[in-house]
A and B are shown apart, each in its own frame.
Chain A
Amino acid sequence: MVATYETKNDYKVVGNTPIRHDGLDKVTGRAVYGGDVKAPGLIWGEVLRSPHAHARIKKIDTSTAEAMDGVFAVLTHSDFPTVDEREVSTGEDVVNLKRDQSNIMANKKVHYKGHVVAAVAAVDRNTAQQAANVIKVEYEVLSPISNVDDAMADDAPIILEGLVGDHLGEEVENTNVATIFRHEFGDVDNAFANSDIVIERTVSMSMIHQGYIEPHNATAIWAEDGNVTVWSSTQGSFGVRAQTAGMIGVPESKVRVNYVEIGGGFGGKTKVYLAPVAALLSRKSGGRPVKLIMDRSSIFEATGPAPGGKIRMKIGATKDGKITAADTDIMLESGGYPGSAVGAAGLCVFACYNLPASKITGYDVLVNKPKSAAYRAPGSPQASFAIETVIDEICEKGGFDKIQFRLENAAKEGTRRGDGVQFIRVGLEECLESAKESDHWKSPIGDAPEGKARGRGVASAYWMNGGGKSTCDLMLQDDGTVMMNEGSADIGGTRTSIAMQAAEVLGIPIEDFHPSIPDTDSIGFTGVTGGSRTTYATGLAAYNAAHKLVDELKGRLADLWETETANIKFNEGTFTANGDSIGIQELAGKLDPTGGSATATASVNLAEAGNAYGVHICDLEVDLATGKTDVIRYTAIQDVGKAVHPQYAEGQIQGGVVQGLGWALNEEYFITDDGAMANRSFLDYRMPTSLDMPMIDTIMVEVPNPLHPYGVRGVGEVPISPPLSAAAQAIKEATGKSYYELPVKPGRILEALNND
């Protein structure tokens, strides 16, 4: 059953902008991130990676490395226990343990360049690197597959031997397509036949990387009693516990994952790469703590990326501006093992529109590139680029206003998403109305200087947001402050946005909260910080725990006041009964005779979440001689439900926009003929810098989510999606050329301009 709420209107804490509790540690350098972990007797690990994108491992000779001074242990796949094809949840997606074990340490075959083939532990990092480099591996090099067309060709080499694909319910062997699925309703063919306008395009995009600044890291101790202790930068400690335990073959209860601060994840730190390697190296090194930090080129070559691929998109409309039908084939690159974001792309692709007929076919396609991982609204940006590109053309062909057309066809409460799910209250129409009324939309773009041209693009996007499992513990201490434990990794101030929701219930100032994120032995199960779920789900756990704490305190107070619990009322931090009244913080000091500090704990498992919509407007200037683009004005409009901490919510939107603009304009995996990523450094993989970007304006629309007492929706993910098309359409308007391939980099713009 799904609980719904009447939303409050008057808030004391929610909606304010207190300084986050962990802020001081993070501006002084005191905060302990995964790479900062120290342990007595610490030694270092390093891995050896495949120089080939696709090859069979014929022989691994570790003898030279083993004989080196300072080397404690050498590891290959044969040191891992055999595990079944069991699946475990990371909290956001599902991991196949056997395949992931082969992904973090290759078994017989390498599926991408940078695939780990061996690891060492040594007295220091330098020695470990030298030892890894003297491991000799003989390969039989196979031809690499770098795109979905080659992967789906009849004579394509098979990447994952033994894979049985699920093609619309049929089991298919000898294939690189792990899954083909379809969502369909209405008569699409008939609807297209009765349309005044039908446009069909195929768009494509390269893989791109999450680009978190902190490298993956892990430190582990596998002690003599069989207990394993892990420190690792992650979006979810319980996901690390499940994946590590599963891959090294011990029960989850034997693994304790300590919380460390995380230096960015964006979905890419839900998968585990190093912790099982560190644990096995520790065991082979006599229980010494072993630490690994991944180098940047390996992060590009072997972790992350968001899938590239190809999307065919066909949309029909009447001459009056009503969409008649939409049909798409989404082919996304999963990388070296199955599991791209194509499923989520299928849910997002048509979710901004109210369609009479819809057909969505998704393909999960293996290629010889790193196994893809979640990246901020996984699948939504690719899908948004495809549909919004075609919607823009329909508007131009039909002479429709680009925002009014979206309003006329907007998804609303009751609209069915492409997979059949019916929307609860959503805020797309409010976002579009807000965009229409915005200063940005009403202001002319202005004249471009000599040699340049300007254009404006608009695009919308959807992300469903996540619910899931979260836990929060509260303890009212006798000085009136609250100790709060919660299980969500804090990547952007969520300790505070969670505590604010308990503070709102309790009427205790947010400054009197002490939030902590404990290890996996010390807090109830909590899923990853991902799916834009943390402020919503863990916040709801805090809200529930606060109400339980109030109930507990009423019971204590009933003893002190010698009355019935039912007689005691609680409002805005004050308990009253029979003319008596006491503030909650004052009561805290009087609890000793009633049993000491009062505690409460709450866990939630939320099946649903409030959907998120964003509508973005992008003004952009193109240098017609060089193809260089500059974003000159940007406005992101988003339904946030309720912004618990408006400053941090806005920061999520701004950050998402800039990642989306990087995706639109610059970022790509540039793959050579032999399957290598040519641009595997921050110099050549060109993420936006401060100089590339303007200020990012936001308009936060608040259409309360009925599933949350304060109306909270997830905020973090959807803002990455609209920039892809908004920027591309702006460049189209500036140059008079259409762009169907991302990124729309200067070379592509010049090519289009020179093709006159």
Chain B
Amino acid sequence: MTTNSPSKVHITTTINGQQHELLVPGYMSLLDTLRELIGLTGTKEGCLDGNCGACTVSVDGRIVDSCLVLGAEVDGKEVDTVEGMASPDGLHPLQQAFLEEAALQCGICTPGFLVAAKGLLDNEPSPSEDRIRHWLAGNLCRCTGYDKIVRAVQKASS
């Protein structure tokens, strides 16, 4: 059985440090490329129009809404997702702080917040509360009211 999909694009991309060679349908978002082709379902679908941040990933060190990026666009680029944050030595300090500060309730926005917050702390190790709130304004959380998320990021910052 054939599908109605347009032709596919051949890409080579590095995801969480591991190289992948993929045939991506031209219409397919980076979000679906990660979730459906690679099986990395830690990156979440929330709105598919770039307004909730649940699908936040890092592309060459810059955070993006993966629902607004085509899979074909990450050819030759490095993609980092929530699944790449912990190391064999343990959790990333942000992951640990989110647990200790109760910064998640349902947890659906958590991967996006973690990747976004890492993008901040990688470049600014000691941001102010206002800076954290400004940086994370592209990520919606409906459960926590943000208080404990901001505190967790503060705790993980040096």
Spell out A's residues near B (CB within 8 Å): 17, 19-20, 22-24, 26-33, 35-36, 38, 68-70, 123-127, 130, 210-215, 261-266, 293, 295-296, 491-493, 647-648, 650-652, 654-659, 681-683, 687-691, 693, 695-696
Q: Which residue of B lies closest to A36 (CB)?
A: B41
- Against A, the Cβ 8 Å flags (1 = close, 0 = not) of B75-109 are 00000011101100001000100111110111111
Q: Are A683 and B145 in contact (CB under 8 A)?
A: no
Chain A CB within 8 A of B150 CB: yes
Q: How far is the CA of A262 from the CA of B95 in the complex (A)?
A: 20
Give B137-158 interface residues, CB cut-off 8 Å to A: 137-151
Q: Which of A20, A262, A295, A689 contacts B137 (CB 8 A)?
A: A689
Q: Which residue of B lies closest to A31 (CB)?
A: B107
Given A214-B46, A296-B47, A696-B147, decide whether A29 and B98 contact each other with a Cβ distance below 8 A. no
Q: Are B107 and A263 in contact (CB under 8 A)?
A: yes
Q: What are 23 pairs between A and B in contact, CB < 8 Å?
A: A17-B102, A23-B104, A28-B85, A28-B86, A33-B44, A36-B35, A127-B3, A213-B141, A261-B106, A263-B107, A264-B106, A264-B108, A296-B51, A492-B106, A647-B101, A647-B148, A648-B105, A650-B102, A651-B143, A681-B51, A683-B49, A689-B138, A689-B146
Given A130-B4, A215-B46, decide whether A29 and B99 contact each other with a Cβ distance below 8 A. no
B145 to chain A, nearest CB (A): 3
Q: Which of A127, A650, A687, A696 contacts B140 (CB 8 A)?
A: A687
Q: How far is the CA of A693 from the CA of B133 in the complex (A)?
A: 9
- Against A, the Cβ 8 Å flags (1 = close, 0 = not) of B99-121 are 11110111111110010000000
- Against A, the Cβ 8 Å flags (1 = close, 0 = not) of B37-51 are 001111111111101
Q: Are A655 and B145 in contact (CB under 8 A)?
A: yes
Q: Which residue of B lies closest to A22 (CB)?
A: B107
Interface contacts (Cβ under 8 Å), in number, total 203
Contacts of A652 in B (CB 8 A): 105
Contacts of A212 in B (CB 8 A): 106, 108, 142
Q: How far is the CA of A701 from the CA of B111 in the complex (A)?
A: 33
Q: Are A28 and B83 in contact (CB under 8 A)?
A: yes
Of A28, A295, A682, most B-chain CB atoms within 10 Å: A28
Given A26-B110, A647-B102, decide whether A293 and B3 contact each other with a Cβ distance below 8 A. no
Contacts of B104 in A (CB 8 A): 23, 26-27
Contacts of B28 in A (CB 8 A): 126
B127 to chain A, nearest CB (A): 12
Given A28-B86, A683-B49, decide whether A213 and B140 contact each other with a Cβ distance below 8 A. yes
Q: Are A654 and B140 in contact (CB under 8 A)?
A: no
A520 to chain B, nearest CB (A): 21
Spell out B's residues near A (CB within 8 Å): 1-5, 25, 27-28, 32, 35, 39-49, 51-52, 54, 81-83, 85-86, 91, 95, 98-102, 104-111, 114, 132-134, 136-151
Q: Are B99 and A23 in contact (CB under 8 A)?
A: yes
Q: Are A124 and B107 in contact (CB under 8 A)?
A: no
Q: How far is the CA of A69 from the CA of B4 in the complex (A)?
A: 7
**Interface majority SS (helix, strand, loop, mixed), chain A:** loop
**Interface majority SS (helix, strand, loop, mixed), chain B:** loop
Contacts of B91 in A (CB 8 A): 24, 27-28
B67 to chain A, nearest CB (A): 10
Q: Which residue of B lies closest to A263 (CB)?
A: B108
Q: Are B47 and A681 in contact (CB under 8 A)?
A: yes
A21 to chain B, nearest CB (A): 11
Q: Are B51 and A682 in contact (CB under 8 A)?
A: yes
Q: Are B1 and A123 in contact (CB under 8 A)?
A: yes
Q: How far is the CA of A562 from the CA of B120 in the complex (A)?
A: 65
Q: Are A213 and B109 in contact (CB under 8 A)?
A: yes
Q: How far is the CA of A129 from the CA of B50 in the complex (A)?
A: 20
Q: How far is the CA of A648 from the CA of B147 in the complex (A)?
A: 12
Contacts of A657 in B (CB 8 A): 145
Q: How far is the CA of A265 from the CA of B142 in the complex (A)?
A: 10
Q: Which of B4, B114, B148 contacts A27 (CB 8 A)?
A: B114
Q: Which residue of B lies closest to A233 (CB)?
A: B108
Q: Which residue of A lies closest to B146 (CB)?
A: A690
Q: How far is the CA of A98 from the CA of B107 in the complex (A)?
A: 34
Q: Are A123 and B3 in contact (CB under 8 A)?
A: yes
Q: How far is the CA of A652 from the CA of B1 in the complex (A)?
A: 49
Contacts of B98 in A (CB 8 A): 23, 27
Q: How far is the CA of A263 from the CA of B54 in the complex (A)?
A: 11
Q: Are A690 and B48 in contact (CB under 8 A)?
A: no
Of A24, A212, A215, A263, most B-chain CB atoms within 10 Å: A263
Q: How far is the CA of A28 from the CA of B110 in the complex (A)?
A: 9
Contacts of B145 in A (CB 8 A): 651, 654-659, 688, 693, 696
Q: Are B146 and A28 in contact (CB under 8 A)?
A: no
Q: Which residue of B lies closest to A659 (CB)?
A: B142
A305 to chain B, nearest CB (A): 14
Q: Are B102 and A655 in contact (CB under 8 A)?
A: no
Q: How far is the CA of A658 from the CA of B150 in the complex (A)?
A: 14
Q: Are B133 and A213 in contact (CB under 8 A)?
A: no
Contacts of A29 in B (CB 8 A): 40-43, 81-83, 111
Q: Are B44 and A263 in contact (CB under 8 A)?
A: yes
The 8 residue pairs across chains A and B that have the minimum distance between CB atoms? A29-B42, A263-B108, A658-B145, A26-B107, A682-B51, A492-B105, A36-B41, A654-B145
Q: Which of A69, A659, A689 contacts B3 (CB 8 A)?
A: A69
Given A658-B145, A691-B137, decide whether A27 and B95 contact each other with a Cβ distance below 8 A. yes
B107 to chain A, nearest CB (A): 4
Contacts of A648 in B (CB 8 A): 102, 105
Given A213-B142, A651-B105, A655-B105, decide whether A126 and B25 contact each other with a Cβ distance below 8 A. yes
A133 to chain B, nearest CB (A): 11
Q: How far is the CA of A265 from the CA of B105 in the complex (A)?
A: 11
A431 to chain B, nearest CB (A): 19
Q: Which of B44, B100, B133 contacts A19 (CB 8 A)?
A: B100
